[in-house]
Homo-oligomer: A and B are copies of this chain.
Amino acid sequence: MTVKLVVLYTQPDDPDAFDEHYLGVHGPLVEQIPGVLRWEGARFVEAADQGETTYHRVAEIWFEDMETLESALATDEGKATARDYGKIAPPGSRMFIAQVD
């Protein structure tokens, strides 16, 4: 059953500097993680419910199943990506695992 890691980044102090690192450094790290089926990043442009623009970005990384996801995060490439996440994620950013319908 397909699962995905869903990451929600809150608003950084400098969104453009964040995106430069995100697209130039973080994305390439994600691409090196073994077992990744595909991944997608997106930048929020609007709160469609007229609420707060709580998050700056969402990223999703799809894996074949939970075992593959867990193994992937335990690899050197997974750990390097997690370290970079720790460096860039603004306070309040979140990371979840979801089972795709």
The interface of chain A, by Cβ under 8 A from chain B, is 3-6, 23, 27, 40-49, 51, 53-55, 57-58, 66, 94-101
Contacts and interface: CB of A to CB of B under 8 A. Distances in A.
Nearest to A51: B94
Nearest to A50: B95
A54 B94 contact: yes
A51 to B, nearest CB: 6
A101 B49 contact: no
A97 B6 contact: no
Nearest to A42: B98
Contacts of A100: 40-42
A45 B63 CA distance: 14
B94 A42 contact: no
Contacts of A3: 45
A99 B58 CA distance: 10
B96 A47 contact: yes
19 contacts: A3-B45, A5-B48, A6-B44, A6-B58, A27-B101, A40-B100, A41-B101, A42-B98, A45-B97, A45-B98, A45-B99, A46-B96, A46-B97, A47-B94, A48-B97, A49-B94, A51-B94, A53-B96, A57-B98
